[in-house]
Structure 1
């Protein structure tokens, strides 16, 4: 049978992938240290102030000592008050509600099978809490097809309970996707100890489950949505299985008032043995009944899925609460999958789908991969070779967009999108680079168009990509590149936005080369059936020049109602390169309050800083931290949705006696507040 594997630790995995070097995992601004500063730094034993994603053992720790860079912790003794990194790991973005628009193709089904994704974003230990100074990152953007994200990780050499870090949760929540942490009880071959299973399910003298209580406390303090329970350590017996079942029931009971969910992996069965069933049956159904969903092991057959779905319904459960596992870690879209057993072309979906390690789209690329190469691979994985969900691809790989209807969270004003993917080669503000350092911080990712890219034209189809060579804000923009022989409509967001006489849509755009007329498309109703196109009303957005400009398009001529879709129509002749850097929708001016109380909480002798502040009142999308130089130049350092930030690699400029920091609030339309500042002596 196949088992889920650890991502790192004392045992080898099936593949070896270097997810990040010490240099790549360094802070958010890399700067060389002058010789005099380096000499001074040697005099000071600098403490490592870098906050990392949290990981624990349930109670008892392994024998011996942890490896370099690893800290062994007991979850049983954890408290929010003692967690020095909590401010950096707490997600502050609430889980958004989402809706399902009419499917863009006749093959994508709504209300049936869904998709869970088990992703290892980094190693278990040394995973930075708030991003790092590299653009080489699994910056997942196809949230529209995902129903649950498991923050996969854990190993016997580091820790087996892993909490998601805040950037992943913030990005997922904006798109309405819950994120759950991972409890990995490893097989003995990967260093698993049965004592850790017993630690997890222990009861105290009053009959309480202390680790279940801690798991709920962690999830609520950190702001994520539950736990994936993966019990693969063999040697158990019926008594241990009964204890595990009682633990699951208590974990679910304690978590329900907080909206937490529990997913069980097909591993332990009712006699306590670990025997992967590849289906739902009498051996594991009690664990399913104690959980919200269940991830079926990978070696299922058509009969397994059919009987599993039928049994779920007989238990008065939804068959789509079963995730049929598909392991794509090694081969990605080359994986041979019996799609007809799962998502039959001529009938209803049988169960839901559970991807294991789709970050293959990044990891299979060469070490010198670029963000553009990653997104090209990721788009093909989720959308198919057509790169257009309205034109489903044929072939052996049935991309999710061909089978599962997309979802959207774009339902309220103001709404802004700068097509920022959460990583980049530089950081841009108003079309100018404010930092030349590469970066990733998934929590800064925009709600991107879910249907990438629906392009309608009677002529040549241009290439449409998320591009990193230039941006209006963040690290990326939409680049349309091709020879236009007829008008081209590029669909953007599926929405349910209120339309009033005051509604204005602003487009930040530039024509890199060629001349192009731009129109904004606004759809006021949805199609009557799946696969039918939206009908747009088009309003002029001008003929942009070569520099970044903003065109404000007033929608008063369209009356009132609901906006169901936004698009752009490009008309030109010959070769055209056009960028879209921002799409902002509002019906009133945005006012953004200023944060207060910025302070340096801790500093080291080698240019590391921990800072915090009090959040601003009202609606704030994120906070951005800059360094202000003596000549008044502002240099971007990092952004976060939290009220605390960490930076490293900073050094004194010539003659600079103190460093000045500024923090600003950023609104949904990317308006910025006044700054609050503080200084710290070098």
Structure 2
């Protein structure tokens, strides 16, 4: 990988804090800030000198789960969901061919908050349906080389069936890389084993993510080091496989131990590919080198789609010049899979005063869906071959109960049943709902309205779906591809509101697949009561049986051509209404400073989607402080309110249908 792409990642301590995260206040006692951060390490030996401000140097070889003080705040808890591939939303998308790996830097190596932060300016990825693997990209010679993904990202990805890999980055010497760190990584113990391979697998198991992306770019090695790296990779893959983890090799080091980016699968890196589950092919590829790579993978008995052809979008996003036909031709089978490097460009290229959530999602939809903003109607003149027009979307909506409030994992406020319970901007991807996989398929004979996530109002969380436009014909918006069993006791619920204009609302349900990719599912239309306030409507479904395969909404204007603004706040499919989840236990303050608290608790038995922490104020109102899927939480910026001497905090379990347990409480004396 070209060193010029490292500028941001290797800047070191100067970029230690995410935008919008205030510096930690002085604690009550002489101690470090209670703010937890995502973990990062060197393999074994540390750099000379002392770390910069806000940076902690750690040795992975010395790490033990039992000694990790932040493990409860950093360990993901959502299991990897099974996913299926419905009939594609796009007429040009393929199944069982190219897949997508995405390398994303969500923040700097150090100072990356473990559980979100008080800003909505965040790369809140939502197009999970098009991704197979996410790499938590980063690493810096001045901070650390081995990065464990933070829990909110893993929880969101797992909810959508996407694996998440940590990153092992051995940087070029020009950017501070030391060959000793490579030797540290591949060292063997007296028994001839690789202790760092075992440690990497133990970290992934303890933190709840799915394996590692290994990127060895420090030059100067020899054939002996090349052999040691091959042995290390074989052991890492073997140990990882026993824990259901995966390993990706980056096309950098060759068998002679030096670094030479091949831009291909060839004899120089073939042993590393065989010692891994897949390989990211460097950007130096050519049409010919990808063809030969695919053929070599075939001869080795491996899938050519285990090769991710690198597409660098860090600088130019959808304006990047890409020879798409070399990877995913339209008139022939795909050659390899796609590896996107730094698609968070969709956030980063926006001006600092233009990164409101709506601005980001407009750009992100353009990147993943294409200029038409509708995968069922791809724009053939668009130079950017958007992922939604290439690969089939996937879904994890396979069991009842299912519910979504269309929460994207960040927002300007926090809403509960349409009421604002916190006016503080926030991000926390672990609170993200399972989101529509095909955004946005809109079917109408009239003028297409705009369909977007909107952050000006919500039923629950931080966002709702807004349909906005002068409707002059009935308009259907596809929402979910599903595999939900339906029976006599199945209940469909829709929470919605009409802000402007007048529309007749119907819930559309299909129990069979569409006739072809991009075609309309065979919907049955179920009428829904509507009004100008948030309302949750139970929708009768007489006569439906089998399996619900698609869910949509249809809006028919009462006054065609008049402006309409209609919000979808929540959707649920359930059987009998379940009781509330069990409450957590042993809720306590585990650490305190002047304005920060850490909470811990014992998880509730049974199915719990996440936990919420509120503060009960002296006037009786409740303020949302945060939510998490973990069994610990950090809150900062606290102070006495309304003359109180002690603060009261409440913790609740939240179920899949957003029904909450009774609260458990704890007091903290100021």
Q: 2:544, 2:563 → 1: CA distance?
A: 36
- For residue 105 of structure 1, report the CA deviation from its aligned partner: 2.4
Q: Is 2:57–2:144's contact at 8 Å kept on the other side of the alignment?
A: yes
1:309 paired to 2:294 = yes
In structure 2, which of residues 363, 372, 375 is the aligned counterpart of residue 377 of structure 1? 363
Equivalent position of 1:20 in the other structure: 18
**Structure 2 spans left out of the alignment, 5+ residues:** none
Equivalent position of 1:223 in the other structure: 208
1:623 paired to 2:611 = yes
TM-score scaled to structure 2, two decimals?
0.97
Q: Is 2:17–2:111's contact at 8 Å kept on the other side of the alignment?
A: no
Deviations 1:477-497 (A, max 9, x none): 000111111110000000000
1:206 paired to 2:191 = yes
Equivalent position of 1:126 in the other structure: 111
- For residue 65 of structure 1, report the CA deviation from its aligned partner: 0.4
Matches within 5 A, 1:484-503: 484-503=471-490
- For residue 503 of structure 1, report the CA deviation from its aligned partner: 1.0
- For residue 6 of structure 1, report the CA deviation from its aligned partner: 4.1
Q: Is 1:393–1:402's contact at 8 Å kept on the other side of the alignment?
A: no
Equivalent position of 1:648 in the other structure: 636
Q: 1:252, 1:10 → 2: CA distance?
A: 28
1:428 paired to 2:412 = no
Change over 3 Å in CA distance of 1:18–1:87 after alignment to 2: closer
Q: 1:662, 1:96 → 2: CA distance?
A: 30
Matches within 5 A, 1:8-87: 8=8, 11=11, 20-21=18-19, 23-24=20-21, 44-45=29-30, 47-87=32-72
- For residue 504 of structure 1, report the CA deviation from its aligned partner: 1.1
1:138 paired to 2:123 = yes
**Structure 1 spans left out of the alignment, 5+ residues:** 28-37
**Secondary structure of residue in 2 paired with 1:361:** helix
Equivalent position of 1:453 in the other structure: 440
Q: Is 1:455–1:489's contact at 8 Å kept on the other side of the alignment?
A: yes
Matches within 5 A, 1:160-559: 160-368=145-353, 369-394=355-380, 395-545=382-532, 547-555=533-541, 557-559=542-544
**Secondary structure of residue in 1 paired with 2:352:** coil
TM-score scaled to structure 1, two decimals?
0.95
- For residue 26 of structure 1, report the CA deviation from its aligned partner: 6.1
Q: Is 2:18–2:112's contact at 8 Å kept on the other side of the alignment?
A: no
- For residue 4 of structure 1, report the CA deviation from its aligned partner: 8.1
- For residue 353 of structure 1, report the CA deviation from its aligned partner: 0.2
In structure 1, which of residues 600, 609, 612 is the aligned counterpart of residue 589 of structure 2? 600
Q: 1:7, 1:612 → 2: CA distance?
A: 38
Q: 1:7, 1:85 → 2: CA distance?
A: 29
1:669 paired to 2:657 = yes
Q: 1:538, 1:24 → 2: CA distance?
A: 47
- For residue 43 of structure 1, report the CA deviation from its aligned partner: 7.4
Q: 1:293, 1:383 → 2: CA distance?
A: 26
Deviations 1:390-429 (A, max 9, x none): 0112321000001110000000010011010000000000
Q: 2:7, 2:463 → 1: CA distance?
A: 30
Q: 2:375, 2:156 → 1: CA distance?
A: 22
- For residue 521 of structure 1, report the CA deviation from its aligned partner: 0.3
Q: 2:143, 2:661 → 1: CA distance?
A: 42
Deviations 1:254-302 (A, max 9, x none): 1111110000000000111100000000110000000001000002111
Change over 3 Å in CA distance of 1:10–1:566 after alignment to 2: closer
In structure 1, which of residues 571, 576, 580 is the aligned counterpart of residue 564 of structure 2? 576
Number of residue pairs matched?
A: 664
Q: Is 1:507–1:550's contact at 8 Å kept on the other side of the alignment?
A: yes
- For residue 179 of structure 1, report the CA deviation from its aligned partner: 0.1
Change over 3 Å in CA distance of 1:43–1:230 after alignment to 2: closer
Q: 2:667, 2:530 → 1: CA distance?
A: 45
